[in-house]
Structure 1
Amino acid sequence: MLKILFHLLGAIHFGYGCYYDQVHVNVPSTSAIVTPYAGKMKYLTHLNAIMQTLYFTLALLNDLFGNNEPTPSEKPLIRRIKDILFSALAFPLSMFVGITFWGIYAIDRELILPRSLDPYFPTWLNHVMHTNIMAFILIDLLTSFRMYPRKKIGLSVLCTYMLCYMVWIHVIYFKTGSWVYPILNILNWPLRVVFYLVCLGLVCSLYSLGEKFNKLVWSKEVEQTVKSGKKKAK
């Protein structure tokens, strides 16, 4: 029951955050910092919040209509999707968004969330998008078992997503002449490439960290699942 309530809370929490950000956070079009092109869909923060809403909704549906057993006789499709979504996207992206945002913010907040945006972007929403995403996904890792996919599959999904996003922010730049994030304004092209590679390396490392942490927390369940898989293969 607590698991159901937690997943319901997560879905509502991030769903409302996405709604508020989309509808009520309106930076004037005259702002030199933010281009209106692509709206909120240009920010990884917003895209990740949508991802979290989707994940917690799927987790809730799995609680209600699927199952959370380590070795079910037949794993429901919704459970398979939920497990892959958590492993390949929900966990590494949440940790990546939170760590990079607060890391850059600590160095110079003007590079990631300029003070001029404070009247439009409330503090509570900032924490929903950049703090709570880490807290909720870590709690979920500790309270709900999932089996990670093969590493090649998980990393392929994650890297494809990240590379698509990198292409997307460049499309926006070449369309508008403005970078989505102020930090990209102060970097030349070689340094931008280094920045992208560091980000890609970090998010892949977070995937591996999540996989190891999951195996540590759910060692018995992982072992049971692996043994069950070997028996079925025979």
Structure 2
Amino acid sequence: MASAASTHSLFKSVFGALRTLLHLTAAVQFTYGIYYDYKYVEFPTPTEPDSKLIHHPFGGKFKYLTFLDAIIQAVYYIVSLANDFVGTNELVPRRPPAIRKFKDWLMSTLAFPVALNVGITFWTLYAIDRELVFPKVLDPVFPGWLNHVLHTNIVVFIVLEIFTSYRAYPTRTKGLTGLAIFMGSYLVWIHIIKHYSNVWVYPVLEVLQLPQRIVFFVAVLGFTFALYLLGEFLNNVVWAKEVKLSQRKAK
């Protein structure tokens, strides 16, 4: 009996250390990616009079959902790392501290659905026609490792997080409302940028007529909400016992 308890304790310690290492690796990686992108990546300007302008200084890097998502991921993993030391990773704590509540909310409402939105949408459009989302002219200034950090690793790490950390999801109404506010604000933001710069943030929007753009925006919003529900579903499947225990405690 004592041996079994000792083995369980050792497994719990090793698992906790690996989870902390995951959070540390992700926090460093995404923070550095943000820094490098902001500091060193400069988009080329047209050299020919009739060349297409693909970037306008208005809004800077903050007009790209990829960049905003990288900030969300960095904040999430920094919070997760802090929670590893000063919060709690107890599966269903009786009184979760504020940092644990914020961690769970951020993962559920923004970090998971926005990361998958960015990753899946980017690589889908890239496979169809990369000029619609990442023109070849960017290759000399946007290194491949940074491309994968911002468009691939965000998905890899957030999926790993689903399987290594249980989180208490907010009510579906609250979670989807938070996500809708963020995505709605971003759609308003890219239209403000278009108004003042006369350049769409993403080349794909340049080739779409107004009705097609409306359909595109609705599809993106619907897809993002579906990803929220996917995250909730995966959490309920992977952590079924903890979800049931949490629901019993809430009654």
Q: Output the TM-score relative to the length of structure 1.
A: 0.96
- 1:107 corresponding residue in structure 2: 128
Q: Does 1:150 align with 2:150?
A: no
Name which one, 1 or 2, has greater alpha-carbon Rg.
2
Q: Which residue is equivalent to 1:163?
A: 184
| Structure 1 residue 217 corresponds to structure 2 residue 238 | yes
Gaps of at least 5 residues in structure 2 are 1-16, 48-52
What is the CA-CA distance between 1:29 and the residue it aligns to? Answer: 4.4
| Larger mean Cα displacement after TM superposition, 198-207 or 72-81 | 72-81
Cα drift, residue 73 of structure 1: 2.1
Could you tell me which of 94, 99, 117 is aligned with 1:96? Answer: 117
The one-character-per-residue Cα deviations of 1:20-55 (angstroms, maximum 9, x if unpaired) are 000010113457111111111000000000000000
Letter in 1 for 2:54: I
Distance 1:203 1:128 in 2: 20
Task: Please name the residue that 1:82 is paired with.
Answer: 103
Q: Which amino acid aligns with 1:95?
A: L
Q: Are residue 202 (structure 1) and residue 218 (structure 2) matched?
A: no
Matches within 5 A, 1:16-27: 16-27=32-43
Q: SS where residue 108 of structure 1 aligns?
A: helix
Distance 1:73 1:96 in 2: 33
Residues 1:62 and 2:83 are matched in the alignment: yes
Check whether the contact 2:66–2:150 (CA below 8 A) recurs between aligned residues.
Answer: yes
Counterpart contact for 2:44–2:138, Cα < 8 Å: no
The alpha-carbon deviation at position 189 of structure 1 amounts to 1.0
Q: Which residue of 2 aligns with 1:123?
A: 144
Residues of 2 paired with 1:29 and 1:59: CA distance? 39
Q: Which blocks of at least 5 consecutive residues in structure 1 are unaligned?
A: none
Give TM-score scaled by structure 2 length: 0.90
Structure 1 runs of 4+ aligned residues shifted over 4 Å read none
Contact preservation (8 Å) 1:70, 1:224: no
Contact 1:22 1:40 in 2 (8 A): yes
Aligned residue identity for 2:42: N
The CA deviation at 1:70 is 2.4
* CA shift digits 1:200-228 (9 cap, x unpaired): 00000000001000100000111111111
Query: Does the residue aligned with 1:146 lie in a helix, a strand or coil?
Result: coil
Q: Distance in 2 between matches of 1:133 and 1:214?
A: 18
CA RMSD of aligned residues (A): 0.9
Identical pairs, percent: 49
User: Which residue does 1:15 correspond to in 2?
Assistant: 31
3-state SS of the aligned residue for 2:150? helix
Q: Distance in 2 between matches of 1:101 and 1:71?
A: 36
Question: In the alignment, what sits opposite 2:18?
Answer: 2
Match for 1:16: what amino acid? Y
